[in-house]
Amino acid sequence: MAKAAAAALQKALEGKGNPPSPAIPEAREPAERASSYKAPSREGKIPITAYLSPNFKSSLRLIQAKQGGSVQELIAEALNDLFAKYNVPTVSE
């Protein structure tokens, strides 16, 4: 009995036994998934990222709580104020 099991194992290892199970499809890369769908609100826009102290976020959230609007709108307003300060064109949307 042990010889029969060993022979069956050897056949399987040599590829003579049962056919291999179907291949598992490879997962798509994260970049591929991200490029497949873009929210309509993001069409024609690009991300601008900055790594800042958590205090910046706290202050933005305080202004948001007092004035309303989104953090994105507040950052756009702040950037336009910076552009005006340095005499470069501001952006209107």
Q: How far apart are CA 13 and CA 7, in angstroms?
A: 10
Contact 90, 80 (CB under 8 A): yes
pLDDT per residue as tens digits for the range 24-75: 666 666 655 556 788 898 899 999 999 999 999 999 999 999 999 999 999 9
Q: How far apart are CA 30 and CA 47, in angstroms?
A: 17
Report the helix count and the strand count for the chain, using DSSP H and E: 4, 0
pLDDT per residue as tens digits for the range 6-29: 777 777 777 765 555 566 666 666
Domain boundaries defined on the chain? 53-93
